[in-house]
């Protein structure tokens, strides 16, 4: 039994249950003292566009699908490939228990107690305009990186698993239908959910039943250096389109999600995407727990090389500290979640007491997604460091349990991975629009119709030309640093209102120090390859097709982003600590 994933996944589930049932309840009652009778911003400022109360059951689905993207899927499988499954599993469990749900829930409560405002205005009130401007500038750079790296992962899944985009189309259209049923026709949520589930799974069955909807897969999985790059040569069959073609398709979808009213498209689509995602997650966890009976064994080493220190020899990894803590970018903790919790979900919370199941519960569920990723690749002897590895492992686990064909399960989990990335990326672009409006309020860059286009164009360039694993680590460092900053901002707020801060200040300190170090390491790696005039990973294919100049520019941008973000993060940490000690001193006085 110890040579199967079952006991290790079970330990993680038990610890997560303790985190929610004991630790989160203690924090909710003793520190924040949530009150169901206190009016929330959704009720105080109801406008039907941004502020509107929603049932905690629907809002949990929205929050989970908004925060649970590609991070808890891709991050753990990269960490297992780097360091072995044991370090990855330990950080997933410990990080989520002490830091992950803490950030999501606390950022949400801080926003609720501040009229549903996002981190920018709250930072302005607590620390002043200079800190606010610094934070908004950091968010701009952060959203560029996270949107670009997710776009790369999604396009590779579309090329690896033919037909994946067909069920995605069903989810997008079903989201529009669901929104119309619930918000316009006032149909019961349960009935609308059943209709949505039928339509979503009809898309999967249709794609599996009619092979003509799917073309033979490209040879990307066999040799990632040979994927087609030039949009002028893409074939006309689904599944073999080029990376650039899929990036344009994603750009159109993201733009629509960024500029349309939330209840019409984005909110219902996020909820509809959550439905098959949660089913896929439950199924793969059950399959992992059943491995003693299905006969699937652990094939990965528990511990691998923990201290590679030469980037020219090991360009896609680095020392265990700090790289492990940014490789697993979301299953343990994620800065993106603070943006969703404080800028979006807090405006739809019906009761203050809903913050614990919505904020804390959704993050603990995301930790379970991370556990499913570790379980999926534990049983693979070898695998590429790409999202396709999760699809292979998850379909192997679930096919052994259910008897359903690997072909059908491959499509189901490819859709799961793609929808986890796509829907959250639509939120990235929408948040970019709001941050741009705040930062460039008197400039065309802040225009609601123009600002999404700026991010989308940058996304296409970086996703098309970057070395994706290193870009992933750069994203992880940026993402986790934002999480540290969010925790420290919550500590500043709690210090101001004279509440205990211990449960956020120490995790915030650890994440801030660790992630600044990780960003500097990635900047060092990109600089080393820039000076050596060498491509990293799949950049070799880009260089062969378009010349070394494109790769050089890409690496220069990436190295500069790493350095700038590390400096901005360090400065923001300074402002946060200064504000924290100011309010603590005032409280003691």
Cβ atoms of residues 349 and 59 within 8 Å: yes
Q: Provide, rounded to the nearest whole percent, the portion of the chain with pLDDT above 70.
A: 91
Rounded-to-10 torsion of CA 366, 274, 51, 490: 0
Residue found by looking up tokens 């610094």 in the block: 134
- Residue 243, pLDDT above cutoff 50: yes
Which of 235-239, 255-259, 492-496 is the most confident on average?
492-496
How many angstroms separate the CA atoms of 288 and 280, rounded? 12
Output 410 or 222, whichever has higher pLDDT.
410
How many angstroms separate the CA atoms of 456 and 463, rounded? 10
- Residue 439, pLDDT above cutoff 50: yes
Q: Give the pLDDT band of residue 315 (cuts 50, 70, 90).
A: low
Phi, psi of 54 (to 5 degrees): -130, 145
- Give the domain ranges of the chain: 6-305+318-588
- What pLDDT sits at residue 539? 66
Residue found by looking up tokens 């949400």 in the block: 108
Tell me the pLDDT tens digit for each residue of 195-218: 998 998 898 888 878 766 665 444
Helix, coil or strand: residue 309: coil
Cβ atoms of residues 481 and 565 within 8 Å: yes
Cβ atoms of residues 41 and 116 within 8 Å: yes
Alpha carbons within 13 angstroms on the beta-carbon side of residue 95 total 31
Tell me the pLDDT tens digit for each residue of 351-396: 999 999 999 999 999 999 999 999 999 999 988 877 888 999 999 9
Q: What token pair was written down for 247?
A: 């990036």
How many angstroms separate the CA atoms of 266 and 258, rounded? 8
- What pLDDT sits at residue 475? 81
Cβ atoms of residues 350 and 55 within 8 Å: yes
- Residue 309, pLDDT above cutoff 70: yes
Burial class (CB in 10 A: 0-12, 13-18, 19+), 449: exposed
CA proximity to 26, closest of 486, 503, 511, 354: 503
- What pLDDT sits at residue 212? 62
CA proximity to 564, closest of 482, 487, 437, 478: 478
- Residue 558, pLDDT above cutoff 70: yes
- Residue 298, pLDDT above cutoff 90: yes
Cβ atoms of residues 126 and 132 within 8 Å: no
Cβ atoms of residues 328 and 75 within 8 Å: yes
Cβ atoms of residues 362 and 64 within 8 Å: yes
Give the pLDDT mean for 82-86.
Answer: 94
**Size of the chain, expressed as the number of residues it contains:** 589
CA angle 574, 576, 580 (to 5 degrees): 120
Tell me the pLDDT tens digit for each residue of 128-149: 988 888 888 888 888 888 898 8
- What pLDDT sits at residue 542? 65
Q: Provide, rounded to the nearest whole percent, the portion of the chain with pLDDT above 90.
A: 41
**Which range (261-270, 334-343, 484-493, 505-514) has the least confidence?**
261-270
Q: Compute the mean pLDDT over every residue in the chain, rounded to the nearest whole number.
A: 85
- Residue 541, pLDDT above cutoff 60: yes
How many angstroms separate the CA atoms of 541 and 547, rounded? 9
Output 226 or 489, whichever has higher pLDDT.
489
Q: Give the pLDDT band of residue 239 (cuts 50, 70, 90).
A: very low
Alpha carbon 291 to chain centroid, angstroms: 28
- Residue 162, pLDDT above cutoff 80: no
How many angstroms separate the CA atoms of 317 and 311, rounded? 8
CA proximity to 279, closest of 139, 402, 153: 402
- Residue 232, pLDDT above cutoff 80: no
Distances (CA, A) of 104 to 20, 334, 363, 382: 13, 9, 7, 34
- What pLDDT sits at residue 329? 77
How does DSSP classify residue 319? -
- Residue 91, pLDDT above cutoff 90: yes
CA quadruple 437, 101, 319, 459: dihedral sign: negative
Phi, psi of 349 (to 5 degrees): -75, 125
522-559 burial, b at 16+ Cβ within 10 Å, e below that, comes to: bbebbbbbbeeebbbbbbebbbeeeeeebbbebbebbb
- What pLDDT sits at residue 555? 76
- What pLDDT sits at residue 318? 85
Q: Give the pLDDT band of residue 126 (cuts 50, 70, 90).
A: very high
Helix, coil or strand: residue 482: helix
Q: Give the pLDDT band of residue 448 (cuts 50, 70, 90).
A: confident
- Residue 238, pLDDT above cutoff 50: no
Helix pair angle (71-83, 388-402), 10° resolution: 100
- Residue 18, pLDDT above cutoff 90: yes
pTM listed for this prediction: 0.86
Q: Give the pLDDT band of residue 419 (cuts 50, 70, 90).
A: confident
Q: Give the pLDDT band of residue 231 (cuts 50, 70, 90).
A: very low
- Residue 227, pLDDT above cutoff 60: no
- Residue 27, pLDDT above cutoff 90: yes
Q: Give the pLDDT band of residue 483 (cuts 50, 70, 90).
A: very high
């Amino acid at each position: 039994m110890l040579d199967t994933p079952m006991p290790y996944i079970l330990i993680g589930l038990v610890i997560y249950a303790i985190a929610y049932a004991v630790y989160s309840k203690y924090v909710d009652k003793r520190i924040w003292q949530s009150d169901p009778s206190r009016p929330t911003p959704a009720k105080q400022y109801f406008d039907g566009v941004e502020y509107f109360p929603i049932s905690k059951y629907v809002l949990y689905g929205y929050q989970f699908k908004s925060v649970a993207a590609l991070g808890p899927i891709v991050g753990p499988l990269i960490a297992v490939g780097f360091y072995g499954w044991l370090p990855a599993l330990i950080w997933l469990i410990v990080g989520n228990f002490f830091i992950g749900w803490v950030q999501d829930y606390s950022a949400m409560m801080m926003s609720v107690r501040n009229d549903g405002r996002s981190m920018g205005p709250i930072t302005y009130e607590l620390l002043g305009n200079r800190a606010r401007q610094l934070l908004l500038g950091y968010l701009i750079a952060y959203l560029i990186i996270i949107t670009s790296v997710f776009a790369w992962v999604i396009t590779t899944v579309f090329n690896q698993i033919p037909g994946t985009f067909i069920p995605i189309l069903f989810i997008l259209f079903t989201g529009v239908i669901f929104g119309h049923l619930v918000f316009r026709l006032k149909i019961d949520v349960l009935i609308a959910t059943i209709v949505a589930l039928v339509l979503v799974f009809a898309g999967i069955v249709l794609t599996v039943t009619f092979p003509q909807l799917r073309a033979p897969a490209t040879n990307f999985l066999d040799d990632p250096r040979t994927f087609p790059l030039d949009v002028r040569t893409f074939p006309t069959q689904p599944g073999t389109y080029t990376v650039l073609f899929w990036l344009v398709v994603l750009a159109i979808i993201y733009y629509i999600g960024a500029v349309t009213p939330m209840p019409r498209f984005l909110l219902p689509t996020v909820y509809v995407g959550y439905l098959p995602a949660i089913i896929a997650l439950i199924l793969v966890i059950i399959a992992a727990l059943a491995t003693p009976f299905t006969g699937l064994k652990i094939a990965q080493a528990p511990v691998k090389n923990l201290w590679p220190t030469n980037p020219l020899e090991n360009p896609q990894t680095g020392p265990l500290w700090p790289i492990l803590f940014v490789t697993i970018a979301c299953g343990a903790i994620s800065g993106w979640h603070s943006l969703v919790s404080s800028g979006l979900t807090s405006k739809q919370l019906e009761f203050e007491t809903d913050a614990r199941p919505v904020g804390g519960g959704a993050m603990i569920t995301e930790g379970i997604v991370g556990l499913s990723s570790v379980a999926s690749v534990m049983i693979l002897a070898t695998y590429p460091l790409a999202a396709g590895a999760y699809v292979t492992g998850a379909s192997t686990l679930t096919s052994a349990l259910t008897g359903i064909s690997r072909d059908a399960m491959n499509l189901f989990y490819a859709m799961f991975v793609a929808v986890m990335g796509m829907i959250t990326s639509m939120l990235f672009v929408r948040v970019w629009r709001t941050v741009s409006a705040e930062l460039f309020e008197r400039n065309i860059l802040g225009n609601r119709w123009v600002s999404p286009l700026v991010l989308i164009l940058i996304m296409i360039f970086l996703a098309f030309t970057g070395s994706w694993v290193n870009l992933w680590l750069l994203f992880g460092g940026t993402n986790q640093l934002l999480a540290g900053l969010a925790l420290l901002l919550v500590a500043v707020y709690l210090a101001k209102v004279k509440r205990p801060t211990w449960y956020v200040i120490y995790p915030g300190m650890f994440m801030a120090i660790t992630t600044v170090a990780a960003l500097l390491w990635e900047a060092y790696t990109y600089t080393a390859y820039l000076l050596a005039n060498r491509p990293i990973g799949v950049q070799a294919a880009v260089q062969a097709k378009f010349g070394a100049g494109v790769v050089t520019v890409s690496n220069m941008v990436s190295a500069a982003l790493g350095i700038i973000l590390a400096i901005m993060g360090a400065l923001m940490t300074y402002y946060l600590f200064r504000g924290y000690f100011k309010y603590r001193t005032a409280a003691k006085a």
